[in-house]
Structure 1
């Protein structure tokens, strides 16, 4: 069972886990999760980025994030507070959108200051207590308030400890690159044309390609293909959709074209990949 999954009946969850469910699997989260490493070490990927997790590392996963556990020490343990997308909207609706973008770009952060660790530990303790109190008629409201307190406190710390340049993504090229990555993450399942993203950013395709080469050392098309391939892998691993249904979902003209595209970027056919991951 996925320990980080919320449902309509259970809009938040809190507890401890070793994330074994995510070992060598790509799981796309439909809800948000706050995690805090209390022991051991692990290697995880969030979307396409690798992260080394050690004690006092805080991990923030927004809805739509793709999580995988690559390896972990025997004593690896995390505390988690999973919450629905609706609960997150209510908790964050007054916060600057740039802050949420910054949090997504910096999803893993290892704390060294006791003053930043203490609020997280208090929230973990409080969320676990209210989750365990099934008879409390106000438990969802309390969980909602705990989440909002956490985001407000984090927002305050970010404003104090990070420069405006760090929050906004450095120079204009860096800002455009981050906006491009966000657009690809949101739209790659339906839009694979570089021109679409250039138009959204109000720049030319040539300039967009130059930015991705300079900032990310990779072409704009390669970034789009990497994100789309990741989404397809998730569908092959975690759904029972037929190959034709997956081809339709991701806007391929037919199953044959879909198969050639996937094999070009992974070295194996969709059927081979699905069989290998079972």
Structure 2
């Protein structure tokens, strides 16, 4: 990710290190590098909307045509680059770290998170685009006015994300903030950061100060899936991305994903995907 051009505001370390918002810009390279694909940061989410013009971008090895009214929702660790864009391209975007909204209920509901991860670009209808623009402008206004509006900015951002989740899912999103929701939220926050190296339930349970059995029970109830499902799901997403979007060897991929050897990695991949890594890459 290149330089972020942000609204100016009084210095506040908690605020400026964990949230940023960019006025309209034609510099697509701020989000999508021009040459080699790069990862989105492991602890940040980016939300952008195209105001005019168009572009062809690549996200996780797939091409996406974006144009006026396209919403772009980038989770951590996407592999992104730009292919081309029109001269009149104009977009707005904001970003935030998970910790910035730590006081709020679960953001990444499992079903919506999975869908957004696979479908990061959403074409909005006129009324939806107007709604998104209103939220963006109000957040930008509060953000640049005063440190006194930090709490309001967070609240508006949380509401904004709920609206976007509704647009993706077609239904309202529950915001109940139970203890189980908090634990699930924090688990996924940790998983985004550590899934390549840490696969034991005890590692995450210790970080959350709960027992292994309780974490497994919470995840099953909150998401409908087991702890091991989510760990393997994150790992296999990364493996498929590396196979599809890079030319690095299967041995290197197995090392990056912390497998003891390529053979073991290939067996796990085949069991999960239904084909070998080589077959997946060549299909």
User: Deviations 1:33-71 (Å, cap 9, x if unpaired)?
Assistant: 4322669xxxxxx99xxxxx9x9675543543468xxxx
Q: CA deviation at 1:120?
A: 3.3
Aligned to 1:157: 156
Offset at 1:221? 0.6
Q: State the distance in 2 between where 1:101 and 1:14 align.
A: 32
Offset from partner CA, 1:202-244 (integer Å, 9 cap, x none): 1111111111111111111101110111111121122221111
Structure 1 residues 254 and 36: CA distance shift in structure 2, 3 A: same
Match of 1:117 among 114, 127, 133: 133
Would the aligned equivalents of 1:169 and 1:175 in 2 still touch at CA under 8 Å? no
Tell me what 2:168 maps to: none
Alignment partner of 1:64 is 2:77 = yes
Whole-angstrom distance in 2 between the partners of 1:216 and 1:174: 10
Whole-Å separation in 2 of the counterparts to 1:158 and 1:82: 12
Provide closer, same or farther for how the CA distance between residues 113 and 64 of structure 1 changes in structure 2, counting only shifts above 3 A: closer
| Contact 1:247 1:255 (C-alpha < 8 Å) held by counterparts | yes
- Aligned match of 2:191: 184
Structure 1 position 249 matched with structure 2 position 256: yes
Change (3 A) 1:33 1:80: farther
Contact 1:34 1:80 in 2 (8 A): no
Question: Contact 2:197/2:257 (CA < 8 Å) preserved in 1?
Answer: yes
The Cα offsets for residues 118-164 of structure 1, whole Å up to 9 and x where unpaired, read as 463699xxxxxxxxxxxxxxxxxxxxx999649967535247898xx
Q: In 1, distance between residues paired with 2:177 and 2:51? A: 32
Change in CA separation of 1:80 and 1:270 when aligned onto 2, cut-off 3 Å: farther
Look up the match of 2:10.
none
CA contact (8 A) 1:252 1:258 kept: yes
- The change in CA–CA distance for 1:256 and 1:201 in structure 2 (over 3 A counts) is same
Contact preservation (8 Å) 2:220, 2:226: yes
Contact between 1:173 and 1:215, CA under 8 Å: does it hold in 2?
yes
Instruction: Flag structure 2 segments of 5+ consecutive residues without an equivalent.
Output: 6-23, 53-58, 61-65, 81-88, 117-121, 163-172
Q: Residues 57 and 208 of structure 1: is their aligned pair in 2 closer, same or farther, counting only changes over 3 Å?
A: farther
Compute the displacement of 1:193 (Å).
1.4
Report if the CA contact (8 A) 1:36-1:56 is conserved: yes
Structure 1 stretches lacking a partner, 5+ long:
1-5, 40-45, 48-52, 68-77, 124-144
Structure 1 residue 29 corresponds to structure 2 residue 40 = yes
Tell me the TM-score normalised to structure 1 length: 0.56
Task: Say yes or no: does 1:207 pair with 2:199.
Answer: no
In the alignment, the residues of structure 1 paired with residue 181 and residue 93 of structure 2 have an alpha-carbon distance, to the nearest angstrom, of: 31
Task: From 228, 237, 257, give the equivalent of 1:221.
Answer: 228
* Residue 28 to residue 103, structure 1, CA distance change in 2 (3 Å): farther
Give the CA RMSD over aligned residues. Answer: 4.7
Residues 181-206 of structure 1, C-alpha deviation per residue, up to 9 Å, x if partnerless? 11112111111112211111111111
Count of matched residue pairs = 209
Q: CA deviation at 1:29?
A: 2.5
Change (3 A) 1:274 1:175: same
CA contact (8 A) 1:188 1:227 kept: yes
The verdict on how the C-alpha distance between 1:196 and 1:35 changes in structure 2, with shifts beyond 3 A counting, is: same
